[in-house]
Amino acid sequence: MTVESRTGVVRRFYNDAPFPGYAPHDTLTALRARAERSQFAQLLDRAIPSDARVVEIGCGTGQMSLYLARASRSVVAADIAGTALQLGRDAARRFGVTSIQFVETDLHHAGLRQDFFDVVYSAGVLHHTADPAAAFACVTRLARPGGTVVVGVYNAFGRLPLRCRRGIARITGFRYVPFDPILRERSRDTARGEAWLRDQYRHPEEHRHTIAEVKRWFADNGVDYLRTFPSTVLDDDGRDLFSRAIDDWTLEEWMAQISWIWTLGREGGLFFAIGRRR
């Protein structure tokens, strides 16, 4: 199957079940409160300047983009799935958010201005492409020199618990998914629960990566590695996402990834790597 045909499969997948979706009668206040349950979202919002040009590649229904579209920021929310983008546009209209633009595009041919954005953010997307390293190269070119690149991908270790749960789910025809905290949380919201189940357990394209692999992507594309979130450095609180970590010890890095089996593994093993384009 070619890259284009695999991309088409992913596009149809998300058009059929937009992710992550909105709760009934959602509000901007509720969306921001929900986002701020995540320490990462809070730290990202704090790190991005108030007048920054931000692009989110693979925004889905646009919840993070809407969360970041405050102060004088200009936000572009881009995704391959038109159905998901329409949900985001509708939400922005209801919430009265005007500093955001939704764009339907394939990240390999984004049609967005290169060397332009202060912050390029892409979470949970590259590992669903046919060639994540090539996809990263495309995403990176959107950042201006000196701009910040933030990518979130599944960690090879942190993803292990979900892969075990997925194995059991497949045996039962997905009638039973054991020990998934997100499904328990969404047990009363059938639509959002089904969206999580499809995205995490039934996706047609998935890859998993180590920090060393992502560092190679950075080096190959002229991006200086700064840090990960969660931090791999024991005495680093990680509160300044856009600063360089105080250390970069390989052994500590591998130990941290192994520990993610019990921490990040709870929700699927997504970690973030942050770098600055030269």
> CA dist 120 to 55, 101, 113, 150, 167, Å?
5, 15, 12, 6, 34
Stretch 204-210: mean pLDDT: 93
Long-range contacts (CB closer than 8 Å, 24 or more residues apart) made by 263-267 = 263/158, 263/230, 264/155, 264/158, 264/230, 265/158, 265/159, 265/160, 265/161, 265/162, 266/161, 266/181, 267/181, 267/182
- Decide: 231 and 210 in contact? Cβ < 8 Å: no
- On average, the pLDDT of the chain sits at 90
Is residue 22 assigned to a domain?
yes
Predicted structure pTM score: 0.91
- Decide: 41 and 65 in contact? Cβ < 8 Å: no
pLDDT digits (tens, 9 = 90+) for 91-105: 999 999 999 999 999
Q: Closest by alpha carbon to 81, among 108, 102, 53, 54?
A: 102
DSSP 8-state class, residue 240: -
Distance CA 151, CA 232 (A): 16
Is residue 162 assigned to a domain?
no
When divided into structural domains, the chain yields a total of: 1
> CA dist 194 to 63, 91, 152, 167, Å?
18, 20, 22, 18
Is residue 239 assigned to a domain?
yes
3 state SS of 41: helix
Q: Is the pLDDT of residue 234 over 60?
A: yes
Of the segments 19-28, 189-198, 230-239, 263-272, which one has the largest average pLDDT value?
A: 263-272
> CA dist 172 to 134, 161, 211, 215, Å?
36, 17, 33, 38
Q: Is the pLDDT of residue 75 over 90?
A: yes
For position 3, what pLDDT does the model report?
61
Is residue 26 assigned to a domain?
yes
Is residue 191 assigned to a domain?
no
Q: Which residue has the tokens 């579209």?
A: 69
Distance CA 205, CA 8 (A): 11
For position 88, what pLDDT does the model report?
94
Beta bridge partners of 223: 277
> What number of other Cβ atoms are within 10 A of residue 24's Cβ?
7
Is residue 188 assigned to a domain?
no
Q: Is the pLDDT of residue 160 over 60?
A: yes
CATH number for 225? 3.40.50.150
Q: Is the pLDDT of residue 203 over 90?
A: no
For position 208, what pLDDT does the model report?
97
pLDDT digits (tens, 9 = 90+) for 186-199: 767 676 677 777 87
- Decide: 7 and 108 in contact? Cβ < 8 Å: yes
Boundaries of domain holding 55: 3-156+207-257+269-277
For position 184, what pLDDT does the model report?
80
Q: Which residue has the higher pLDDT, 26 or 273?
A: 273
Q: Is the pLDDT of residue 86 over 90?
A: yes
For position 2, what pLDDT does the model report?
65
Is residue 185 assigned to a domain?
no
Beta bridge partners of 276: 148, 224
